[in-house]
Amino acid sequence: MTTSNATRGGVGNARAGANFALIKYWGKADAVLNTPAVGSISITLDTLYTDTEIVFDATLARDELVLNGKRRDEDVDKISACLDLLRKPRGVTTRARVTSRNNFPTGAGLASSASGFAALVRAAEVALGLNLTPRERSIVARQGSGSAARSIFGGFVEMYAGTASDGSDSFAEPLLAADAWPLEVVIAVTAKGEKEIGSRSGMTRSATSSPYYPAWVAGQTADLATARVAIAARDFAALADVAEHNCLKMHAAAMATQPPLVYWNGATVECLHAVRRLRADGVPVFFTIDAGPQVKAVCEPGARSRVEAVLRDVPGVLDLLTSRLGPGAEPT
């Protein structure tokens, strides 16, 4: 059934929203299983997403990827490894043509790999006629990109690091629905190119050479617990404090890596100060920054226009993107 779907040339389409972490993932427990060294908590976005179509085609000798209209042969191995997790146990050998489009800048610290692999898993599931559980989807997506395990779900999401040697307890689960606490996001884009050092190699380098890496890992359980309580209580001030603290610890560990990982530019730092000044003035907003120079400002809905106005005026800000919290990855 499954195999014949594939050899007949099954087609699947899916959309997945980008996510970013409020309590970050930085460091791997196992490079092959791609299990994280620490748990994380994220929010999934509704207006930044990846649309993916996958066509299993018996005439193909290898998988193919077209991303944003360009062939990306250099990324095919990662796609193939992820698809093999679905193909191999079912005896499927058919190769696939994957056509994917991000509606936001790719590879610049805006979680394109998260939405990309989540959409890939959902689209492949449809094309192969599978019926995976949400947990199975999350586990397969994790092996494509750690943060992709979270984009399977909408709203607030928690990712567990897990301890099992086969990675079976390393998956994400929903924590709170998007409409239960409708926070909003303003992203200050301060550079548009793809980043030089991807998170995968960056975090591996941090683990072996940053003197702050052990402290980063040791503090995560407490930060996760604080954030969980803050989210359950919709306590914005508490979430703001722990999210900024966690973000700065991740970047401190990254910066102390050898050779160093400085993901920020000048505008990143100016945005960070602008957000802190706003909060000191009583505006409910906090920042977070991933492995790139963009600043994500999370705010209560009533504060969004003020946050946008302030960040737009920061020298070096090229563009603002806004979003609400969005749904999990779904077939389209």
> Which of residues 10 and 223 has its CB atom nearest to ligand PMV in the complex?
223
* Sign of the torsion angle spanned by Cα atoms 129, 134, 137, 139: negative
Residues in 67-126 at the binding interface with ligand PMV, rule: CB under 6 A? 113-114
Neighbours of 327 (CB within 10 A): 17
H or E element at residue 199: helix 199-209
* φ, ψ dihedrals at 299, nearest 5°: -145, 165
Q: How far is CA 330 from CA 16, 82, 260, in A?
A: 7, 18, 38
> Which of residues 5 and 323 has its CB atom nearest to ligand PMV in the complex?
323
- Closest distance of CB 118 from ligand PMV, Å: 11
The residue within the footprint of ligand PMV, chosen from 13, 40, 138, 294 (CB under 6 A), is 40
**Per-residue binder mask for ligand PMV (CB under 6 A), 115-154, x = binder:** ------------------------------xxx-------
| Cα–Cα distance for residue pair 198/194, rounded to 1 Å | 9
- Closest distance of CB 80 from ligand PMV, Å: 17
Question: Binding of ligand PMV at residue 21 (CB under 6 A)?
Answer: yes
Give the chain's count of helices (H) and strands (E): 11, 14
Q: Which residues face 63 on adjacent strands?
A: none
> Which of residues 94 and 143 has its CB atom nearest to ligand PMV in the complex?
143
Q: Residues binding ligand PMV: what is the number (CB under 6 A)?
A: 15
The residue within the footprint of ligand PMV, chosen from 25, 56, 160, 181 (CB under 6 A), is 25
Q: Are 240 and 288 in contact (CB under 8 A)?
A: no
- Closest distance of CB 32 from ligand PMV, Å: 14
Residues lying near ligand PMV in the complex (CB under 6 A):
20-21, 24-26, 40, 113-114, 145-147, 199-200, 290-291
